[in-house]
């Protein structure tokens, strides 16, 4: 009989499943006990596919974009979803903060262009960010 991939979540309630029996395909040895399903087995199917493509492409986002036919933001979003699904946090800087930083950099560069500050002062201000 062909082996099927183990599911990681209960199809009824969504809870974590436990493996209670392992069998060797070579010698037919059986081991019974209580075993957890690996973190990757618990990923939804679409994130499993993404993780495989991401790893195969050595994390090269451009190659992942091309292979999956999705945009850069979609790759980043799926990567973040995968990280969270594996139980880790995603440190994302809020958009308003990024916009404020960009505006501040633009302001410093404009002051430099106008000659209001020296290059050294501009570098100093930009490094404080």
pLDDT of residue 95: 59
For residue 36, is it within any domain?
Answer: yes
**What is the spatial distance between Cα 66 and Cα 77, in angstroms, rounded to a whole number?**
16
Q: What is the pLDDT along the chain (129 residues), one digit of tens a residue?
A: 666 777 778 889 988 888 899 999 999 999 999 988 788 888 888 999 999 999 999 999 999 999 999 999 999 999 999 999 999 998 865 556 667 777 888 888 888 889 988 988 888 888 875
The torsion angles phi and psi of 51, rounded to 5 degrees, stand at -60, -40
Query: Do 36 and 9 sit in the same domain of this protein?
Result: yes
Query: Do 1 and 29 sit in the same domain of this protein?
Result: yes
For residue 90, is it within any domain?
Answer: no
75 lies in which domain range? Answer: 43-85
As for how many domains the chain has, the answer is 3
Query: Do 26 and 48 sit in the same domain of this protein?
Result: no
For residue 123, is it within any domain?
Answer: yes
Cβ atoms of 82 and 47 within 8 Å: the answer is: yes
Q: What is the pLDDT of residues 47-64, one digit of tens each?
A: 999 999 999 999 999 999
For residue 7, is it within any domain?
Answer: yes
């Amino acid at each position: 009989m062909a082996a099927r991939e183990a599911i990681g979540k209960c199809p009824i309630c969504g809870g974590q499943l436990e493996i209670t029996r392992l069998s060797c395909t070579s010698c037919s040895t059986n081991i019974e006990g209580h075993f957890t399903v690996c973190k990757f087995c618990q990923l939804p199917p679409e994130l499993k596919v993404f993780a495989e493509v991401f790893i195969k492409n050595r994390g090269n986002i451009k190659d992942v974009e091309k292979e999956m036919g999705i945009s850069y933001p979609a790759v980043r979003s799926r990567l973040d979803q995968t990280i969270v699904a594996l139980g880790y946090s995603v440190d994302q800087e809020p958009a308003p903060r990024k916009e404020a930083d960009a505006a501040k950099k633009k302001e410093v560069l404009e002051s430099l262009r106008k000659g209001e500050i020296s290059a050294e002062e501009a570098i100093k201000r930009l490094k404080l960010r």
